[in-house]
Structure 1
Amino acid sequence: MDHSLLPVTGLDALEARLRQDLDWLELPAKPWVPPRETDGRSVTDVAVIGGGMAGLAASAALRLIGIDRQRVLDRAEQGQEGPWVTFARMETLRSPKGLTGPALGLPALTFRAWFEAQFGAEPWTQLDKIPRTQWMDYLNWYRRVMAVPVENGVHVTLIRPREDGLIALEMEVGPPVLCRRLVLATGRDGLGGEFVPDMALGVDRRFWAHSRDTIDFAALRGKRVGVVGAGASAMDNAATALEAGAASLDLFVRRPALPRVNKFTGIGSQGVVHGFAGLPDEWKWRFVHHANAAQTPPPRDSTLRVARHPHARLHLSSPIRSLEQTGGALRVTTPHGSYELDFLIFATGFRVDLDRRPEFALIARHIRFWGDRFPTPPGEESEELSFSPDLDADFAFQEKVPGACPALRHIHAFNHPASLSAGKLAGDIPAISAGAQRLARGIARSLFVEDREAHFERLKAYDTPELQGDEWAPFTGGPA
């Protein structure tokens, strides 16, 4: 019988199918990394900082390949990892529902399988896009069925390279974690933080927030609210403020028109997924610079979610020229005039800025960025791209000065800033499985090479006979 045609009813049945699929594929592979101890303490083979989608996929891919001595550390409480139920404010995901996401090539691990097992095939056909909070429910299930060992409420305060080649992760609470490899599955702001223009820094924080912040939208009821930005998060925050009862909403966009075309989605293919990393540097830069310059448009449904409110106003060609407090309000000045607001939300994205991350204090100055060695093509200048980390094929950092910090080759940036080096494999739903598998295979390769002496000793010591000596008696007679 074709196993793929068997009906699945309920999560228990789906999980049984997943176990059967893994068994047929002989997964997870048997553990093969030699254990290590130092100073009487066990050493973790791979530590992962971040228990969101990227961290779950990375950990699961490592386990499937036979690397199971790992720890996954996340500051958030269980069920709060990543943006999905914290600062993400869209109603549904932007990605098409049929993308397989972090399923790692396992049909029973897909969102669709999870959804249909509970609600049936017909509701799946009726579903337009995946509700945001339902995606978080799926990731919680994924964590359980793939036995991802997430430790919640854990805050890494310092990454300390050691002379013996290990990496010590110092904690806010508890003893350091010693690991051989470190994966930073830390999302869009994983190598820095949110970006706001300098003019905001001189204004009292009660008047403004970044879209990543926790915002009390109920407190904005009856208020005059502004949003800066033209992307998806700008629309999501604007809609949330309006739906909370904001008296007015002004959206300020510096461009003369909202971007309309999602360039990278338009050329999405397995060629891009697997081929981008092989491009010459000048072509990587050219592709990403062109897509960034065009900017990613907000989804149509997110834009309509705002536009349907008559007291929402779109201001094009309206960069913010100045901000000033005027008593209990803000005055926002653009080329077209000044506006009085009670609160302003900057949906202005993120930037790489290692100085904002104290955990990188010992390694930051050694990390090589594209701007350190790649001459910017004339007419394609980009501060964002210049400050992208220059990563190896397995997402590992590289040294600015060879030999100054060898431990960097054991720290892997599996997060959004990896995009220029590797393509969009380390943070977005479409190619997260391909990225996690590339990461896991790269780490497996480096660990095996590093442990070659131990593996060679195992090779020499292995003495289980295949033949018992009684299979075929030697010929003892002479010539015929």
Structure 2
Amino acid sequence: MTDVAHTHGMVGLAGLEARLAQDLLYLELPAKPWVPEKRHEGERVRDVVVIGAGMCGLAATAKLVLTGITNVVAYDAAPEGSEGPWVTFARMNTLRSPKSLAGPSLGLPQLTFRAWFTAQFGEQAWEDLDKIPKDMWMDYLVWYRRVLNLPVENGVRLTGIHDAGDVIALDLLDHGEARRVFTRHLVLATGRSGLGGATIPPFLEGVDRRFWAHSADDIDFKALRGKRVAVIGAGASAMDNAATALEAGAASLAMLIRRKEMPRINKMTGIGSQGVIHGMHRLPDAWKWRFVDYTAAQQTPPPRSSTLRVSRHPHARFYLDCGIRSVVERNGALDVETTQGKMEFDFLIAATGFSNGFTNREEFAGIAPFIRTWADGRQTADMGPMRSNMSDAPDLGPDFEFREKVPGTCPMLSRIHCFNDAAMLTHGKVSGDIPAVSAGADRLARGIAAALFAADVETHFANLIAYDTPELQGDEWVDSTPLLQVEGTR
């Protein structure tokens, strides 16, 4: 960008921020703080702690603050500017979502990516833009956080969750130093990995990690130059990792795809609507299961551009109907036994997604045994065959709150909210993807606001009684009652 364009962009961005500030003023946002202060063991208790400051964490935090719940903080283990997947393990060139989506703007036009982009680069540049570069999306989220002055602390990792009566105790590792904070509500905005983490196929168990990685790992692609690389999977992440390895100079690249045919149709995109966003979570359980089960069976195709990014390399090979039977390290390489015969590679990338199981996450050890899943009651025989990633999903309440497997065993679960990808089966895709994140943040904030008000109802009623600022001063009229009484005696 030229110096002139850069200067113009800064002026334009300043103007956008001024318009946003005016819109917030006109809408009386943020709302005035209204939650009574609470203390525990002499320390101030947060009203809400959000774990994660990626897109969903920022949207949730912003909506809470705008709702007048200002005693909130978001913690993220990553350095500032590296939250979420966008500049870490997201290896596509551009976002897959259409550029025009409102995303986390919370109904505020000046907070959209389009407003941010056009303020800097102009309308013609917007028209010329095909898809949003992923690094630019991260720049937008950094601006989003700054312009809303959101309370985010980086370098802070959650290590434990404990019941402390009417509050929740959180153990944190803050830049290497252990500390504890208390909160009334906890939001787990932990992104695509949700509550579990990377799904590792059984055939990779015991294989030295020098020879393989999950697609969400920090992979040294430069080290793959001249290597024989295989990628397991056919989704968007598989294509992105394969393309990155090829562009880094891999000698050969094999896509090992279990399916006989590549999925070609993105089914959920075809029915995307406000009805889906606001109606899915209200459907009977059998219908929720049916939608998610069908789309899982059909699978989501990788974007055309991502696939072409791989196939344009002459030394890339697509092996369909290629299941993996075993992986064995031998003489500094991997012998991979597949349904199409034996293959040898120097490095393997497993683009095998994430799991909903949360029993292996240390930070969730205090709550995992008590969380009710769909397998604990919501799934019924008429829903069809079990899918572990669906059956393991938490059985959430209307405000994304966890439910107890056995009532009374862990009451604090009702104040812990699952605002991440694991909520999809209960709530639809409103807590992990760009299209509906604002609707999800609104649903979450409304639920927490209602719960906080109900918990403090006696205080609010006492405030109602104590309020004594008169609207009328007593000099606005003349009392005619004595005159009427005199006239009535005549």
TM-score class, shorter-chain normalisation, is over 0.9
Any residues of structure 2 matched to 1:402-413 within 5 Å, and which?
Answer: 402-413=407-418
Pairing partner for 1:419 from 411, 421, 424: 424
Bigger mean CA deviation after superposition, 131-140 or 378-387:
378-387
Is 1:44 equivalent to 2:49 in the alignment? no
How far 1:11 sits from its partner (Å)? 0.9
- Who is 1:255 aligned against? 259
- Who is 1:437 aligned against? 442
Percent pairwise identity: 61
- Who is 1:3 aligned against? none
Mapped contact 1:8–1:14 kept (Cα < 8 A): no
Mapped contact 2:48–2:187 kept (Cα < 8 A): yes
Mapped contact 1:51–1:185 kept (Cα < 8 A): yes
How far 1:178 sits from its partner (Å)? 0.3
SS state at 1:355 partner: coil
SS state at 2:156 partner: coil
State the distance in 2 between where 1:376 and 1:389 align.
Answer: 18
- Who is 2:366 aligned against? 362
- One-letter amino acid of the structure 2 residue matched with residue 168 of structure 1: A
State the distance in 1 between where 2:384 and 2:161 align.
Answer: 38
How far 1:376 sits from its partner (Å)? 4.1
Is 1:398 equivalent to 2:403 in the alignment? yes
Any residues of structure 2 matched to 1:438-477 within 5 Å, and which?
Answer: 438-475=443-480, 476-477=483-484
SS state at 2:258 partner: coil
How far 1:378 sits from its partner (Å)? 5.6
- Who is 1:302 aligned against? 306
SS state at 1:77 partner: coil
State the distance in 2 between where 1:300 and 1:366 align.
Answer: 43
- One-letter amino acid of the structure 2 residue matched with residue 297 of structure 1: P
After TM superposition, the score normalised by the length of structure 2 is 0.95
- Who is 1:170 aligned against? 171
Is 1:25 equivalent to 2:27 in the alignment? yes
Bigger mean CA deviation after superposition, 224-233 or 169-178:
169-178
State the distance in 1 between where 2:25 and 2:157 align.
Answer: 36
Bigger mean CA deviation after superposition, 16-25 or 36-45:
36-45
- Who is 1:106 aligned against? 108
SS state at 2:242 partner: helix
How far 1:383 sits from its partner (Å)? 1.0
Any residues of structure 2 matched to 1:317-396 within 5 Å, and which?
Answer: 317-373=321-377, 374-377=379-382, 379-396=384-401
Mapped contact 1:44–1:70 kept (Cα < 8 A): yes
Pairing partner for 1:236 from 228, 234, 240: 240
State the distance in 2 between where 1:150 and 1:119 align.
Answer: 28
- Who is 1:4 aligned against? none
Bigger mean CA deviation after superposition, 305-314 or 354-363:
354-363
- Who is 2:6 aligned against? none
* Counterparts in 2 of 1:351 and 1:413: CA distance versus 1, 3 Å: same
Mapped contact 1:74–1:81 kept (Cα < 8 A): yes
What are the ranges of 5 or more consecutive residues in structure 2 without an aligned counterpart? 1-8
The CA RMSD over aligned residues, in Å, is 1.3
SS state at 2:107 partner: coil
SS state at 2:34 partner: coil
SS state at 1:158 partner: strand
- Who is 1:146 aligned against? 148
Once the two structures are superposed, residues 48-103 of structure 1 have per-residue CA deviations (whole angstroms, 9 ceiling, x without a partner) of 00010000000000001000001111101111100000000000000000001000
State the distance in 2 between where 1:104 and 1:379 align.
Answer: 37
State the distance in 2 between where 1:101 and 1:340 align.
Answer: 43
Once the two structures are superposed, residues 271-295 of structure 1 have per-residue CA deviations (whole angstroms, 9 ceiling, x without a partner) of 0000001000000000110011111
- Who is 1:35 aligned against? 37
- One-letter amino acid of the structure 2 residue matched with residue 205 of structure 1: R
Any residues of structure 2 matched to 1:1-80 within 5 Å, and which?
Answer: 10-80=12-82
- Who is 1:290 aligned against? 294
How far 1:9 sits from its partner (Å)? 5.2
Aligned length: 473
SS state at 1:118 partner: helix
